Structure 1
Amino acid sequence: MRSRNRATLTSRSNSSLETLRIERTSFSQDELAVYCEIPRATYQRWISGKSEARPTIRQLKLLCQYLGIERIDELPDDFGAVKETLDDG
């Protein structure tokens, strides 16, 4: 049942950060927020693109640790919803 929910979440998510959370962990948004010392509502605004992500250095370090990222430049440049563009080919 949990894997079905994860697949549903992946297909709905347009956020690079949310995609990383789903692909690399089995934890919820709440668990990530608590671990990384980010208010849940703030995390949700980041991934929806409703507000620009401005994590502290500590939060960035915790995000990297939580997601198994060794170098900070492996984090996406933008945490919010990815804007779809048309590719003319």
Structure 2
Amino acid sequence: MNAKSKRQKQESDSPLDALRIERTDLNQDELAMRCGIPRATYQRWISGKTEARLTVSQFKKLCHELKIERVNELPEHFGPTAK
């Protein structure tokens, strides 16, 4: 199974993780590492257990990795959306 077909099968209730899947070929660990975010912290954000509090550096790196050019492209919350 190649990376693209593997990525197509992934889904997430988290808007942040959905952006990761849609816009990158990175897994959660790779994205967190590139952004200077501990993996456990990233997982707490996308699970909705904690609210994200990024440093300016982390924010810039996250936007770069997710190919975000405007702040309004980021979701309001990183955790799962209410159903």
Is the Cα contact below 8 Å between 2:4 and 2:25 reproduced in 1?
Answer: no
Q: How many residues align?
A: 82
**Partner of 2:6 in structure 1?**
5
Which sections of structure 1, spanning at least 5 residues, go unmatched? 85-89
**Partner of 1:67 in structure 2?**
66
User: SS state of the match for residue 10, structure 2?
Assistant: helix
**Partner of 1:54 in structure 2?**
53
Displacement of 1:73: 2.1
User: SS state of the match for residue 45, structure 1?
Assistant: helix
Q: How many percent of aligned residue pairs carry the same amino acid? A: 57
Is the Cα contact below 8 Å between 1:33 and 1:39 reproduced in 2?
Answer: yes
User: SS state of the match for residue 19, structure 1?
Assistant: helix
**Partner of 1:87 in structure 2?**
none
Displacement of 1:4: 4.0
Cα distance in 2 for residues equivalent to 1:8 and 1:51: 26
Structure index of larger Rg:
1
- Per the normalisation by structure 1, the TM-score is 0.84
Which sections of structure 2, spanning at least 5 residues, go unmatched? none
**Partner of 1:36 in structure 2?**
35
Cα distance in 2 for residues equivalent to 1:64 and 1:31: 14
- Per the normalisation by structure 2, the TM-score is 0.90
**Partner of 1:81 in structure 2?**
80
**Partner of 1:25 in structure 2?**
24
Q: Which moved more, 1:38-47 or 1:66-75?
A: 66-75
